[in-house]
Amino acid sequence: MTRDQIIAIKSTQRRLGFDDAAYRLILRNVGGVESCKALSNEAFEQVMAFFEETGATMLPPIAVGSTPNYWRDKVATAGGRMAYKIHALFAVYQELTCHLPEDQQYKLPGLCAHFSHQAHRAPEQLDSRQQWTMIEALKKIIARFEESAPASCGLPCLDAPF
């Protein structure tokens, strides 16, 4: 991270009114780090795209011909880091719930539809806010199943390493 990138992130955080806890949560979920200094260039772009999605305008760098969706457009072409995280979390969820009847398990397309107000059925199609919300929900669901599962319940799906 360059000094200018750190300044850009911190000033955008203040402009959007995110307190430190919310800001750190965004860094963890979107950028995969605890501190903005540890962001890679790709993760920096993801965080800036998330800020842009939440309503920030005129984010740096503003060059001649820049669009209001500069960061979102840049991230869209770079790939789906958050979509990958959703797939990884959903795989953990499936392992934890493999003992449940199929009609009692969430399905990934259904979750995507729920978080996109029925607009999309794949994590790659969700916008950054929807992806972030889905990641948080999956974390809570996984934590709930991990807390309720006995240490050794005898189910092969729960004894497998993650």
- pLDDT tens digits, residue range 42-58? 788 889 888 888 877 66
DSSP state of 28: I
Per-residue CA distances from 13 to 21, 48, 128 (Å):
11, 10, 16
What local confidence, expressed as pLDDT, does residue 93 receive? 94
Q: Could you give the CA distance from residue 49 to residue 55 in angstroms, rounded to a whole number?
A: 10
Select the more confidently predicted residue: 128 or 140: 140
Rounded percentage of the chain residues whose pLDDT exceeds 90: 41
Q: How many CB atoms lie within 10 A of CB 93?
A: 19
Rounded to 5°, angle at Cα 135 from 141 and 42:
155
Select the more confidently predicted residue: 25 or 82: 25
Which pLDDT band, with edges at 50, 70 and 90, does 90 fall under?
Answer: very high
Total length of the chain: 162
The contacts of residue 116 (CB under 8 Å, 6+ apart) are 125, 126, 127, 130
The predicted model gives 6-32 an average pLDDT of 91
What local confidence, expressed as pLDDT, does residue 148 receive? 82
Q: Name which of 39-48, 80-89, 126-135, 149-158 the model is least confident about.
A: 149-158
The predicted model gives 78-98 an average pLDDT of 85
What local confidence, expressed as pLDDT, does residue 61 receive? 55
End-to-end CA distance of the chain: 31
**Nearest C-alpha neighbor of 43 from the set 9, 4, 94, 19:** 9
Domain ranges of the chain: 3-78, 81-159
CA 80 from chain centre, in angstroms, equals 10
What local confidence, expressed as pLDDT, does residue 40 receive? 84
The predicted model gives 70-98 an average pLDDT of 81
* pTM (two decimals): 0.52
